[in-house]
Amino acid sequence: MEKHFIMNNRPIGIFDSGLGGLTAVMALRKLMPEENIVYFADSARVPYGSKSRAELLVMARQDLDFVASLSAKAVIAACGTVSSNAADILESYPLPVTGVLKPGIEAMARTPGSAPLGIIATAASIKSGVFRRELEKAAPGRQIVALPCPEFVPLIESGRTAPDDPALLQAVERALAPARAAGVSALLLGCTHYGIIRESIQAYMGNGVELVSAADCAAEESCRRLRSLGLTGGGGECRCYTSGPEEEFSAAASALLGFELHAEHVPPMKI
């Protein structure tokens, strides 16, 4: 019984290239407030969306190994770029790992009607073609508009997230104009960073367009898996680690999460 208790109290590991995965942290805390969470922001190597697939395969393994070293009982790969480029590594890892690709696609496939469906993600995610292929299989007959948004993550990481920020508004218009012109009925936020600028995206696309958060969907799927495996329990603690400047990340993360958080620095990993 004691071993079972200790196993359940181990944290859930969540990782991303920077601030984006904190959207998954927020979603999971709402669903499972009692769970302990360890979060790793690989800020020294952000953005992941500009990396090659070969680099991403190595980085995915490194990120998984790091959160696993923190005694994680399960992992959320809160990164659309990793989820779309390193699915085999996530699925074969010796811990329950939930990516953001499949849960987001499944939610999009449930969107009613026949109007086009949109996907926005990093350049590497869109280049992989995985998001498009999986949505075409899940929602046959629907037109798919898949758009890279390379400007979004750098803007978010630099703090340009206010809904009225001119640079952000211009970047949103440049990236999403084809989706609006196509008349999409739903838009998948395939990069977890994009949830941070959800208000700006919604304002541009209009209230009639449903925004589907891949981060929220991954948190819901992870919650279901943990409960089915009997791996629930903890004290509600949240610890953060970053490979970038810890003070800068701590301030941004605290503002986003709504409580004070002090990230610990870890040496940047080399590919």
Long-range own/partner contacts, residues 128-136 (CB < 8 A, 24 or more apart): 128/53, 128/84, 128/85, 130/84, 130/85, 130/87, 130/101, 131/80, 131/84, 131/101, 131/105, 131/188, 131/190, 134/101, 134/102, 134/105, 135/105, 135/108, 135/109, 135/188
The proportion of the chain whose per-residue pLDDT surpasses 90, expressed as a percent, equals 96
Q: Kindly report the average pLDDT of the chain as a whole number.
A: 96
Tens of pLDDT, residues 252-261: 999 999 999 9
Whether the predicted pLDDT of 178 surpasses 60: yes
Angle, helix 130-138 to helix 101-109, in steps of 10 degrees: 40
Tens of pLDDT, residues 197-251: 999 999 999 999 999 999 999 999 999 999 999 999 999 999 999 999 999 999 9
Mean pLDDT along residues 135-157: 97
Mean pLDDT along residues 143-149: 98
Query: How far apart are the C-alpha atoms of 223 and 218, rounded to whole Å?
Result: 8
Confidence of residue 2 (pLDDT cuts 50, 70, 90): very low
The angle at the Cα of 91, spanning 148 to 126, to the nearest 5 degrees, equals 10
**Out of 5-9, 45-49, 68-72, 175-179, which region has the weakest mean confidence (pLDDT)?**
5-9
Confidence of residue 8 (pLDDT cuts 50, 70, 90): confident
Confidence of residue 1 (pLDDT cuts 50, 70, 90): very low
The angle at the Cα of 63, spanning 153 to 234, to the nearest 5 degrees, equals 100
Q: Are 248 and 159 in contact (CB under 8 A)?
A: no
The residues carrying an active-site annotation are: 79, 191
Whether the predicted pLDDT of 4 surpasses 90: no
Mean pLDDT along residues 136-153: 97
In sequence order, the 6+-apart residues with CB closer than 8 A to the CB of 154 are 47
